[in-house]
Chain A
Amino acid sequence: MDDDRSRGLEQTSGATPPVIAGERIRHWPAGTVLAGLGLVFAAIAASLVMWLAVDQRLVKDVALQLHDQTVPWTLERQRLARNLEELRFGGQSVLTAGDQGRREEAFFLIRVLAAHPSMGDDPRVAVLVAEVESFLAQIVSGASKPDMARWEALSNRLRLLADDLSVEGGQRMTVELARMTDAMNQARYKLLFNLILVGAFLASFLVILQRFLIRPLQRIHASLTTLDPHGPVPQPAPLAMAEIHVVEKAIVRFHETLRENEDVRRKLERLATTDSLTGLPNRRHFMGLAAAEMARAARYGRPITVGIADLDHFKQVNDRFGHSAGDHVLQVFAALLAETLRQTDLVCRYGGEEFAFIFPETAPEEAMRLAGRLRLRLADRPVVLADGQVLQVTVSMGLADGAGRGLEECLARADQALYEAKDRGRDRIVVVEAGHEGVLMPP
């Protein structure tokens, strides 16, 4: 944990801002992107509609042509065919008439029909009708006798031509209907293609929306819900819309601010809880921790020992070698405490050259041994001052059994034991056990 914290400190203390991926990539505003996509879609849709409109127009044109021209033309063709049949019947009447009067009467219809403008509409009709009229005119005028074989030939030609005229309209309509059908089929294929294209465009649009808007929003959501000043720096997506990118950059800055605040908070906490000279917990912090340990021991009926130590003749060290030397002695002693005591033990600089101890889960006998080991180590490690002088520092210590007692009471008893140790000549440890107050332990 300390390593993590130190790494965090290094990151925040550096002047280099966190590297944001995709910083150099241009990020488009969502509105612009959506408007652009909309325009592209509209342009494509308009093109497709125009593409379809070509076929629709063709269908409409053919239908109009069918309605306005081909159907009337077909009907006229059928009427013309009917008139050819009338001509044929009239010719038959001319040939079979019993007298000249009836012959001329029958020929009158032939003459009127042959002269009608509609007979000139088709060259085949005009030629054949002229031939028929001429043939019949010669018979009516008596210039020639009825030639039935030739009339049969002419009559057959009239019948065939009438048949041709009757079906020509149908053929023309069939051709135009085929054109219309082709155009409609083409329009259907185009419509299908257009639907596929529109579908593909919509799918692409959704993919773009998912990738550049929804997924970044989900990422933002995840970043915000798991935002941790000790965690890694959130990385903005390289390809995101401008608004998303701005939010992601804001999250990065927010993370940075959180981490700086955390560092400051830790510094303040350390300043508030530790002694600046020795690095040990200060008295206030110690009292809080100690009270908790005492309460826990009391709750579970566990052994606990409270102690107070005081460096012997420390005032003389200050007077003789200066306060810096005194401070150095205190620092060396604090380092020795850190090396010697167990991790579960609590110690603080109680004031001046006094130190307070809590030995959780420890009976006074065991605490006595621990304190003895401390005293011996101090004896084995003289303090070397800055000017090279060597000082032999000793410590007096009072221990009190904390089981079933309050912290203040225990500290007072330990302090009393410390006075006893001082009175006994210093460099020794005095323990006050429960029910055995005033028992002195030998150095």
Chain B
Amino acid sequence: MGCSAGREAVQSRGTGLESVKKHIETNFNVAQNAILHILIVLVLSAVSWLAHAAEPVLRVAVLNHSPPMSYTDPAGKLTGFNVEIMHALCEAMNARCEPVSVTLERVVDAVAAGEFDFAAVSLLATPERRARVLMTRPYYRSISVWFARPGVRPGDGRVALVKGGVQYRYGTAHAWSVIPVENHDGIATALHQGTADATLLPMATALALQQDPRIRGLGLTTAVLRDPELAGDVCLSVNPRSPELADKLNEAIDLIKRDGRFDRINSRFIPFRLQ
């Protein structure tokens, strides 16, 4: 009996050692697998980082508070027709883009100064702008729409205009009583608050303004001003020292207009086809 108990004790000791050995082996295998996984993740991360680093990073100027072209959605994400077009173009060019919000007033100056590689801002291709920055091929054509309180005709009353826009230049050139604002959202505010009686703004932005609940009850009348200065080809502006980027953007515009990406973005933000 005693011998038997001794054997059991020995066996028990023996079983305990094997258990420890197995435990150590198991831990070792787990550690080995963990190290392997970490190495794989590190390698993949490095590859991803290298691939990412290989892509050029383009600084892109975009507007904010200018629906439906560029605005911040309720989720806090910068979106809009021009913002999504920018993403599509960058994807087509295999480039990584970094959007930076600016005011319309600064767009041409900043691009001309090389602060940005290009601006995803709809600019009418005026000779003055062409002289300062490179312009891509037109990606649609625009017109300007007059919004005014009843009885206010162009040239009458206080006209809220976004600084830096063709409409602002037009208003100041025609000695209108201009209320300068920073962005298109400011126009709705000015009209709503009564600091302005009218405004002149681009077609697409006019569509959004018309839907703005702040001005719906104002009974504004609308008219299309057919002055050639206020209509025409809309282009993107490009750093004048990057003609090759302008070429790439032209190719990308051509591509997304062919493969349907342009029209899909168009449908998301504007009720008719931009042409």
- Residues of A at under 8 Å CB distance from B? 71-72, 75-76, 79-80, 82-83, 86, 101, 105, 108-109, 111-113, 115-118
Chain B's nearest CB lies how many Å from the CB of A107? Answer: 9
Interchain CB contact under 8 A, A111 and B271:
no
Given the contacts A75-B257, A105-B210, A116 and B222 also touching, CB distance less than 8 Å: no
Kindly state whether residue B249 has any CB partner on chain A within 8 Å: no
| In the complex, chain B residues 241-275 whose Cβ is within 8 Å of any chain A Cβ | 254, 257-258, 263, 271-275
Chain B's nearest CB lies how many Å from the CB of A13? Answer: 94
Report B128-151 CB contacts with A as 1/0, cut-off 8 Å. 000000000000010101000000
Kindly state whether residue B77 has any CB partner on chain A within 8 Å: no
Q: A82-B272, A116-B203 are in contact. List 11 more A-B contacts (CB 8 A).
A: A71-B258, A75-B258, A80-B275, A83-B275, A86-B271, A101-B216, A108-B207, A108-B210, A115-B224, A116-B275, A117-B231
Q: Which range contains the number of B residues in contact with the other chain?
A: 20 to 34
What is the CA–CA distance of A72 and B140 in the complex, to the nearest angstrom? 13
- Return the chain A residue nearest B275 by Cβ: A118
10 contacts between A and B (CB under 8 A): A71-B258, A72-B258, A75-B258, A76-B275, A79-B275, A105-B210, A112-B224, A116-B275, A117-B141, A117-B275
Interchain CB contact under 8 A, B273 and A115:
no
Given the contacts A72-B257, A108-B222, A112-B145, A83 and B231 also touching, CB distance less than 8 Å: no
Interchain CB contact under 8 A, A109 and B143:
no
What is the CA–CA distance of A30 and B210 in the complex, to the nearest angstrom? 91
Between A and B, how many residue pairs show CB distances below 8 Å? Answer: 54
Partner pick for B203 among A75, A79, A82, A112, CB 8 A cutoff: A112
Interchain CB contact under 8 A, B258 and A115:
no
Interchain CB contact under 8 A, B226 and A115:
yes
Partner pick for A111 among B224, B254, B272, CB 8 A cutoff: B224
List of B residues within 8 angstroms of A75 by Cβ: 257-258
What is the CA–CA distance of A82 and B263 in the complex, to the nearest angstrom? 11
List of B residues within 8 angstroms of A109 by Cβ: 207, 271-272
Chain A's nearest CB lies how many Å from the CB of B26? Answer: 64
Interchain CB contact under 8 A, A112 and B257:
no
Kindly state whether residue B206 has any CB partner on chain A within 8 Å: yes
- Return the chain B residue nearest A79 by Cβ: B273
What is the CA–CA distance of A215 and B219 in the complex, to the nearest angstrom? 106
Interchain CB contact under 8 A, A79 and B258:
no
- Return the chain A residue nearest B219 by Cβ: A101
- Return the chain A residue nearest B272 by Cβ: A86
Interchain CB contact under 8 A, A112 and B143:
yes
Chain B's nearest CB lies how many Å from the CB of A343? Answer: 110
- Return the chain A residue nearest B273 by Cβ: A79
List of B residues within 8 angstroms of A115 by Cβ: 143, 224, 226
What is the CA–CA distance of A76 and B216 in the complex, to the nearest angstrom? 33
Of B206, B219, B271, most A-chain CB atoms within 10 Å: B271
List of A residues within 8 angstroms of B141 by Cβ: 116-118
List of A residues within 8 angstroms of B271 by Cβ: 86, 109
- Return the chain B residue nearest A119 by Cβ: B275
Chain A's nearest CB lies how many Å from the CB of B228? Answer: 10
- Return the chain B residue nearest A71 by Cβ: B258
